[in-house]
Structure 1
Amino acid sequence: MNSRAGQPRQFTGWHMLAIMVAFFGVIIAVNLLMATFANTSWTGLVVQNTYVASQQFNERVAESRAQAALGWKGTLTIAGGEIRYSLNDASGAPVRAESVTTSFRRPAYEAEDWQVTLARKADGTFSATAAVRDGIWIVNTEARMTDGAPYQEARRIVVADGAVK
């Protein structure tokens, strides 16, 4: 009979080294993977120059308050591969705009961002044929009036089955 077969294996320093290398190797590999994902996704860049943006903040707040005082209401609909936008004043009458541009942005991923210029229809609304992918979008709409003044609005929408929900 072999006396060695009944003895348990000894835990040596090499075993401990292998466990420590495997443990920290997994941690380092996961950290590198997460750093790579973070580096290749959203940059976090909102404005090119934060100092310039901070200097324009009060001016933009005043413009948005003046715009809100007009009482205008924009309506955005997306259905059947068509984007439609209409703008009405406080009394419900259509506001005549010269051009309307709509930008679609993902909240945290800029690779899918896109923009479309809407064409004016005979009834005063604006529309364009474009398929909007399902998901959450931040939609910035800018309407230029005949006098050159801009009307801007931003909204967060959810698109499911090609229509706004």
Structure 2
Amino acid sequence: MSMTMDRQEKRLTGWHVLAMLIGFFGFIFAVNGAMIYFAIGSFPGTVTDSSYRDSQRFNAEIAAARAQAERGWKVATHTERSADGHAVVRIEARDAAGKPLTGIAFKATLQRPTDRREDRVVALGAVPGREGVFQGLTEGVAAGQWHLVVEGDGPQGRLFLSENRLVLN
């Protein structure tokens, strides 16, 4: 007696191939759509409004940086963040001879690299009894990476500029 197994062959038809192609590319389009949605939602915007205008000021920025280096000022910054989101920015500014800097208005900006909407401007005031020490407080500062931009303005305009990346816990 002979036993034969009746097995029906599964055939790959054109409709099966079409369904697989539609499923594959549908999945790719869905993933791309999700990535586009999250990219647009998290894009912090532009760094500058006009790169052409900024390029025209490039030589002036280089000259200002050279003048700043020639002054030989030493400006030390210290930034602390508390658990409730308050951040204290303190700077100590001294001239080339080590004397405290006075007559300069300092301001600091905490810039979030990932979202310009989270930038915080910190007004720095002179600390009473400590010449050359300036301090300011801001709130709503999340933990993570930040750029600290410190500017010092005198009667002639900006005399000092420093940009540093820091991590606040």
Q: Shorter-chain TM-score category?
A: 0.7 to 0.9
Q: With structure 1 as the length reference, what TM-score do the two structures score?
A: 0.83
**CA distances 1:20-45 after superposition (whole Å, capped 9, x unpaired):** 01100011111112222222223551
**Is 1:141 equivalent to 2:150 in the alignment?**
yes
Equivalence map 1:1-165=2 (5 Å) = 6-43=7-44, 45-79=46-80, 81-122=87-128, 123-124=130-131, 125-131=133-139, 132-145=141-154, 147-150=155-158, 151-160=160-169
Q: Displacement, 1:98?
A: 4.0
Q: Which of 72-81 and 88-97 deviates more?
A: 72-81
Q: Which moved more, 1:66-75 or 1:93-102?
A: 93-102
Change (3 A) 1:97 1:22: farther
What corresponds to 1:163 in structure 2?
A: none
Q: Check 1:5–1:72 CA distance in 2 against 1; reply closer, same or farther (3 A cut).
A: farther
Residues 5/141 of structure 1: CA separation in 2 closer, same or farther (3 Å cut): farther
CA contact under 8 A between 2:123 and 2:137: conserved in structure 1?
Answer: no
- CA distance 1:61–1:51, shift in 2 (3 Å): same
Q: 3-state DSSP class of the match of 1:9?
A: coil
The answer (yes or no) to whether the contact 1:106–1:137 under 8 Å persists in 2 is yes
TM-score, length of structure 2 as denominator length: 0.81
Deviations 1:67-117 (A, max 9, x none): 111111211112354221121112221101442211111223323212111
Aligned length: 157
> What fraction of aligned residue pairs are identical, expressed as a percent?
32
Q: Assess if the C-alpha contact under 8 Å between 1:142 and 1:153 holds in 2.
A: yes
Give the whole-Å Cα distance in 1 for the aligned partners of 2:6 and 2:77.
79
Amino acid at match of 1:50: S
Does the CA-based 8 Å contact 2:71-2:95 persist in structure 1?
Answer: yes
Q: Structure 1 runs of 4+ off > 3 angstroms? A: none
CA contact (8 A) 2:121 2:138 kept: no
SS at structure 1 position matched to 2:124: strand
